[in-house]
Amino acid sequence: MSSAMQFYVSTLLVYAGVYIIAAWGLNLQFGLTGILSFAYILFQSIGAYLAAVFSLGPPASRADVETYAFGANLPFPLPILVAAAGGALLAAVLGPIVLRRLRSDLQAITMLVMSLIATDVISSDQSLLNGATGLSLVPAPLSTVLGLSSLQYQWFFVGMVAVICAIVYFVMNRITSSPLGRALRTVRESERSAAAIGKNVFALRMRAFIVGGAIAAVSGALLVLFIGSWAPGSWLYIETFVLFAAVIIGGSGNNLGVAIGALVVPVGSVEAVQYLPSFGPPGMIDALQWVVIGLLLLLFIWFRPTGLLPERRRYFPVSDLRNGRQAASEADR
Amino acid sequence: MDLFMAGLGFGLIAASIMALAAVGFTLQLGVADIFNFSFGAVMTASALAGYEANAAGLNVWLCLPVGAAFGAALSVCLNRAILTPFMHRGAGLFGMVIVTLGLAIVIQNLILAIWGPVYFTYQVDNSSTVRWAGMILTTSQIALAACSAAIMVVLHLLLTKTKLGKAMRATAANADLARTSGIRTSRVNDTVWALSGALCGLGGVAFVINTVSFQAATGTDYLILVVAAAVLGGAGQPYGAMIGALIVGVASEVSATVISPDYKDVVALVILIGVLLVRPRGLMASVDLVQAGGEETIA
Amino acid sequence: MTGVTASSGTGAILSVSELRCSFDGVNAVDGVSFEIAHGTTVGLIGPNGAGKSTVCNIIAGTIKSSSGHVVFDGHDITDHPPFRVARDGLIRTFQLSAEFRRMTVLENLVTAGQNQRGESLTGALLGRWYWGRQERELVARARQLLERVGLWERRDDYAGNLSGGQRRILEILRALMTEPTMLLLDEPMAGVHPDIRSRIADQLEELAAEGLTMLMVEHELETVERLCDSVIVMAQGRIVSIGAMEDIWRDEAVLDAYLVG
């Protein structure tokens, strides 16, 4: 592979990893638990901002380039962990406001509104996170320590994203296949029935919201550490829609399906466009891309609402059933 | 004080325009039980229809009925061709939010793809400025507010004096009850989409006459404030929506002049969230927007 | 034993006193008091709009009362959230059964087991070795319940694909999985095909024989007559009469309530 090609492929792989992680977090909140998490991009964004300011160093050290309210120079894995904690914290704060009493469509609109308010506030307040310009020149993690060539570093980053992907997959898989995942699905299927068998619907929603928020924040942290900049333009509410499209098209509730959805929608549609001969006035291709994503989503909801890979039917393992018979016959005796 | 009065003046104008759209939106939410995110895109499309008519030489005030007709036709078509079929296919409250959001993105970007990322500008006649009690308004703004007020009066008569209007309010208050009382809710439905679509179109054109120019995303951006007004007033409550529009319009314009234009929308949206927290059913509730599950705590 | 009294007594598992609830100035429930003795089956009947379902919903915590008290098993549970009422052992069913459609029949039951170790976040992350044993016990219990009604063969079907009657039975089994102290059945025969009704009644009769306490709102008087030790008759938000089924129709007030509506 030529080095230009390697650059291209490795960049694509990093984006794929980041979007897959983000889609998994949304799958936990929306696919499994049924929360219409229309402020989802906020979790990714808070992760990105936190990872950025905790890599950039104290604000005074960068006063000539950009202004932000707080920051530090933390060693490598810490910015990502701080980001995850920030995402979880944001979910813990927003959750009680949104998930407690409102009907699901009002939950959605309230979160959408929160997303817009956040964009407005962050853009207008220069001192908080450098306003509409956003943060830039975020140092790449370990780049000075490792002393790799820029191409080698690209592949190092791919490896790092792959490892984090594996960790997030492990967490997602443990949750979906556990009694917790099952309880989350009861909330999605029928809130009142879940409550009627003693499930604390709000607490379960909060669990999904917080873990999903932390996962989204990790994706944001990886993204900002890779591209080095983050601004309000990177997290408009429409980005939430892209991830919803990815989850629904891929197969809401199915971790593998959702990963495929993330490859098809955000990564695939953006990259596919690059190979098209450019036509029409400037911006036309971008607009058509959105039309295609929107239509694709509507077509899927109409023809295949379960997505490319539908949620797996959960069979109980044979061992449960066999031991079940023993236990049952013992109980009879 | 001058600043406040000036803001109040703009706020009243903004509110009267917003009321058109908010009443339309709340009718859809109440009667059709659809949280229609594509409402904003239909507003943009109607404003665009008005723009084309205007560009073809039609007086800008005559663009209002053009926008209304276009909005009504498009809304009825969208409902019949897309929304109702999706509902019948079992997309719940939940699914419909995503369907209408998808629809909004398709419409908005089709406009962007066909017309390009340009600002459309209405040819509005030069109007003179009127000063009264610290408010500084143009004659066209006053005319807009008067139009809106007249439409609200007509709407009031329609809802209270005609059989159809009563059927509509009954359906909004309780669709099941209305059905069992012998109201033909499907016919009511079509009328509601036409009426709310007309209001949507009027709102879109009126908004643009006031701001003069718009682009593909204008309607969707504006929709959030419209939704805030509708939800504030209580879903399905036309009069609530008018009051909601008054609160949102005045709050955003006053804060824009008194605090900073940057926080214009933020203030209105914070009010919305505040009201939802204290009174999740909105100021004048009919549709039950509160979960049946009641309050729960983290165990 | 009639199992139900209007006044205070001992041995009551559920006691409702002076319950009131009004919507928009209309008193849907207007001073309702009764007690239900342990191990009895009581019917709550009355014409449409009598406030039966509202009483049921207030007890279960889905609707807030305006005033009054609900005491269950010695605890005041008035206006507790539904999940707490359920955890206390008072389990309700719904008029329109709400099974977990996109979950299998077996999952519908197993998830109803209480205090599952794998439902906490740490429990879930620790994995099967931590919660697997409890899972096997729950599956065994679910199996017993399903085999009793002949639904074991359909354990891996989605609950949404069952017939109306089967779903109603599934809902009752799901309630039983929680090992309840008492069942609150809101019109268990509503929307069920008449041929299936007797099967559901058989199930309920068996549970009654095992000593489970039940309060059922029901229109189907035949079912009430067959299953209930006694009945409470409501009309216009108040209790008109309480007593054994055979005595109730001699009560002038009851006839009035049904005739006037």
The string of DSSP codes covering C161-184 is GS-HHHHHHHHHHHHHHT--SEEE
Structure confidence by residue, pLDDT tens digits, C164-194: 889 999 999 999 999 999 999 998 888 788 8
Does A313 contact C123 at a Cβ distance shorter than 8 Å? no
Which pLDDT score is estimated for C59?
A: 94
Going by pLDDT thresholds of 50, 70 and 90, the confidence category of residue B294 is: very low
Does B296 contact C62 at a Cβ distance shorter than 8 Å? no
Residue A330 has pLDDT above 60, yes or no: no
The residue written with tokens 């990886």 in the block is A222
Residue B169 has pLDDT above 90, yes or no: no
C-alpha distances in Å from residue A298, one per residue of A2, B84, B85, B89: 40, 13, 12, 12
Q: What is the DSSP letter of C159?
A: G
Q: Which of C64, C83, C94, C101 to mutate to test the interface with B (most CBs of B within 10 A)?
A: C83
| ipTM of this predicted structure | 0.90
Residue A327 has pLDDT above 70, yes or no: no
Does B231 contact A109 at a Cβ distance shorter than 8 Å? yes
In A, minimum Cα distance to C94 occurs at A193
Interface size between A and B, measured as CB pairs under 8 A: 150
Closest in B89, B106, B263 to A124, CB measured: B263
Residue A54 has pLDDT above 70, yes or no: yes
Most confident of A21-25, C130-134, C198-202: A21-25
Structure confidence by residue, pLDDT tens digits, A155-213: 999 999 999 999 999 999 999 999 999 999 999 999 999 999 999 999 999 999 999 99
Both structure tokens of C96: 């329109």
Both structure tokens of A14: 């990093």
Structure confidence by residue, pLDDT tens digits, A226-278: 999 999 988 888 889 999 999 999 999 999 999 999 998 888 777 666 666 66
The Cα–Cα gap between A235 and A232 comes to 6
In C, minimum Cα distance to B291 occurs at C62
The residue written with tokens 């962990």 in the block is A81
Structure confidence by residue, pLDDT tens digits, C42-92: 999 888 888 888 999 999 998 888 899 999 998 999 999 999 999 999 999
Q: Which chains neighbour B (Cβ–Cβ under 8 Å, 3 or more pairs)? A: A, C
Residue B299 has pLDDT above 60, yes or no: no
List the Cα angle B137/B141/B145 in 5-degree steps. 115
Which pLDDT score is estimated for A178?
A: 95
Which pLDDT score is estimated for C190?
A: 82
With residue C232 as reference, give the H or E element that holds it.
strand C230-235
Which pLDDT score is estimated for C4?
A: 66
Which pLDDT score is estimated for B291?
A: 34
Residue, of B211 and A281, whose pLDDT is higher: B211
Residue C68 dihedral angles phi and psi, to the nearest 5°: 110, 175
Does B276 contact A102 at a Cβ distance shorter than 8 Å? yes
Average confidence (pLDDT) over B289-297: 31
CATH fold of the domain at B2-298: ABC transporter involved in vitamin B12 uptake, BtuC (1.10.3470)
Going by pLDDT thresholds of 50, 70 and 90, the confidence category of residue B191 is: confident
Which of C91-126 are b and which e, b meaning 16 or more Cβ less than 10 Å from the residue's Cβ? bbbbeebbbbebbbbbbbbbbbbbebbbbbbebbbe
Measured between CA atoms, how close is B217 to chain C, in angstroms? 38
Going by pLDDT thresholds of 50, 70 and 90, the confidence category of residue B296 is: very low
Average confidence (pLDDT) over B107-133: 84
The Cα–Cα gap between C172 and C212 comes to 13
**Contacts of residue A302 in chain B, CB cutoff 8 Å?**
86, 89
Q: How many Cα neighbours within 13 Å face the side chain of A220?
A: 37
C-alpha distances in Å from residue C150, one per residue of C143, C192, C201: 10, 18, 15
Which pLDDT score is estimated for B57?
A: 85
Going by pLDDT thresholds of 50, 70 and 90, the confidence category of residue A126 is: confident
Average confidence (pLDDT) over C101-116: 94
Which pLDDT score is estimated for B284?
A: 62
Structure confidence by residue, pLDDT tens digits, B34-48: 889 999 999 999 999
Does B263 contact A291 at a Cβ distance shorter than 8 Å? no
- What is the rounded average pLDDT for all residues in chain C? 88
Going by pLDDT thresholds of 50, 70 and 90, the confidence category of residue B290 is: very low
Give the pairing type, strands C67-72 and C12-23: antiparallel
C167 touches chain A (CB under 8 A): no
Does C120 contact A180 at a Cβ distance shorter than 8 Å? yes
Measured between CA atoms, how close is A65 to chain B, in angstroms? 23
List the Cα angle C188/C193/C199 in 5-degree steps. 65
- What is the rounded average pLDDT for all residues in chain A? 88
Q: Which chains neighbour A (Cβ–Cβ under 8 Å, 3 or more pairs)? A: B, C
Going by pLDDT thresholds of 50, 70 and 90, the confidence category of residue B175 is: low
The Cα–Cα gap between A262 and A20 comes to 5
A172 touches chain C (CB under 8 A): no
Cβ neighbourhood burial of B258 (10 Å; 0-12, 13-18, 19+): middle
Instruction: Name beta bridge partners: C184.
Output: C92, C215
Q: How far is CA C49 from the centre of its chain?
A: 19
Does A103 contact B93 at a Cβ distance shorter than 8 Å? yes
Going by pLDDT thresholds of 50, 70 and 90, the confidence category of residue A332 is: very low
Closest in B292, B296, B297 to C62, CB measured: B292
List the Cα angle B51/B56/B62 in 5-degree steps. 60
Going by pLDDT thresholds of 50, 70 and 90, the confidence category of residue A326 is: low
Average confidence (pLDDT) over A35-57: 94
Which pLDDT score is estimated for B287?
A: 40
List the Cα angle B212/B215/B216 in 5-degree steps. 145
- A149-153, A269-273, C6-10, C203-207: least confidently modelled range: C6-10
| DSSP character string of B177-195 | HHHHTT--HHHHHHHHHHH
C-alpha distances in Å from residue B281, one per residue of A103, B109, B127, B275, C232: 10, 33, 42, 9, 35
In C, minimum Cα distance to B286 occurs at C24
The Cα–Cα gap between A149 and A154 comes to 9
- What is the rounded average pLDDT for all residues in chain B? 83
Q: How many residues does chain B have?
A: 299
Residue B76 has pLDDT above 80, yes or no: yes
C83 touches chain B (CB under 8 A): yes
Structure confidence by residue, pLDDT tens digits, C30-40: 889 999 999 99
Does B116 contact A298 at a Cβ distance shorter than 8 Å? no
Interface size between A and C, measured as CB pairs under 8 A: 136
**Contacts of residue B86 in chain A, CB cutoff 8 Å?**
301-302
- Non-local (6+) Cβ contacts of A327 within 8 A are C136, C137, C140
User: Residue ranges of the domains in chain B?
Assistant: 2-298
**Contacts of residue B94 in chain C, CB cutoff 8 Å?**
none
**Cα dihedral across residues A210, A212, A213, A215: positive or negative:** positive
With residue B143 as reference, give the H or E element that holds it.
helix B139-161
Measured between CA atoms, how close is B271 to chain A, in angstroms? 11
The Cα–Cα gap between C77 and C82 comes to 10
Query: Could you tell me if A307 and A251 are in contact, meaning their C-beta atoms sit under 8 angstroms apart?
Result: yes
Measured between CA atoms, how close is B247 to chain A, in angstroms? 17
